[in-house]
Amino acid sequence: MTSNNPEHDNSSSAGAGRPSVPDARRLDGTAPTGGRSPDAAAPAPRTRAAAPGNSTAGTGAPTSTPSSAPKAKGRKSGTPATSGGDWNVFRTVVVLVGLVIAGFGAYYLILGTAGLPDTEADPVNPTLENQFRFFSAMMVGVGAAFITIAIKFQWANMLWLVCLMVFVGGIGRVLSWAFSGTPNYVLIILMVVELAFPPALLVWHKYIAKTSDLRKEFAQRG
């Protein structure tokens, strides 16, 4: 039996056109507020402003700065050139020293004691001659060691050893002068060179190594 009451008809029609509360919660997971749709209640997403030079407009993706890489590369390429020139001069001097020592050793190895000054009139002593030629061959080996170190420079840490051998030889000349008398002036000159040059060569090597490290450190900081 239907009712003819107009209020009953209006309430029924209004209820039919509006979804129930549980149905509205199923759509967006929240209760409806003020009759607004869920899309209108959601805040619009914000986009961060792009910083000039660091990001592109609208995406926020960082951009690269290619101008910095060539500058750093240019600095590094100029550093080894200076230190390399110092090392080349040093290696050339070491080669020359090796050639001089090896040349003296080969000369005395061939001639023996006859190649020494002030020995022309003295008779040959076989024992002395035997020992002298042996140490002359050792001089050739020391000179070859200098040349090898200069060419294959990875062995530069062995430079102190051959310099020590030459320096000890100079001390031997000092002892000979002290116990046996004054030798020929040529041997005195050789004694001075053997005592002074090896320490100077090691100090020079240390100086170049130190300045090269400082240049590399300044280049990395710059």
In a domain, 207, yes or no: yes
pLDDT band per the 50, 70, 90 thresholds, residue 74:
very low
How far CA 45 is from CA of 42, 48, 58, in Å, comes to: 9, 10, 12
The count of structural domains within the chain is: 1
Query: What's the rounded Cα separation, in Å, for the pair 67 and 71?
Result: 7
Residue 50 lies in a domain: no
Q: Is residue 212 one of the residues assigned to a domain?
A: yes
Q: What is the pLDDT of residues 102-146, one digit of tens each?
A: 999 999 999 999 888 888 777 888 999 999 999 999 999 999 999
DSSP of 114-166? GGSTT-SSSPP-HHHHHHHHHHHHHHHHHHHHHHHHHHSGGGGGGHHHHHHHH
Which is higher by pLDDT, 78 or 211?
Answer: 211
Mean pLDDT across the chain: 73
Share above pLDDT 70 across residues of the chain, in percent, rounded to a whole number? 61
Structure confidence at residue 80 (pLDDT): 40
Residue pair 48/60 in contact by the 8 Å Cβ criterion: yes
pLDDT at 198 over 90: yes
pLDDT at 180 over 60: yes
Is residue 58 situated within a structural domain? no
| pLDDT for the residue numbered 56 | 43
Q: What is the pLDDT of residue 175?
A: 95
Q: Reduce the DSSP state of residue 62 to 3 states and report it.
A: strand
Task: Domain of residue 87: give its range.
Answer: 83-221
Q: To the nearest 10°, the Cα dihedral for 95, 96, 98, 101?
A: 180
Mean pLDDT of 61-80: 42
How many helices (H) and strands (E) the chain has is answered by: 7, 0
Query: Which pLDDT score is estimated for 29?
Result: 47
Residue 30 pLDDT > 80: no
Give residue 83's pLDDT band: very low, low, confident or very high (50, 70, 90). low
For residue 213, the model assigns a pLDDT of: 85
Q: How far is CA 7 from CA 3, 15, 17, 49, 128, in A?
A: 10, 12, 16, 57, 145
Pull the structure tokens for residue 176.
């000979």
pLDDT higher than threshold 60 for residue 158 = yes
Quick one: DSSP state of residue 112?
A: G
Q: Does the pTM of the predicted model rise above 0.75?
A: no
Is residue 165, in this structure, part of any structural domain at all?
yes
Q: Which of 90, 101, 94, 95 shows the shortest CA–CA distance to 190?
A: 101
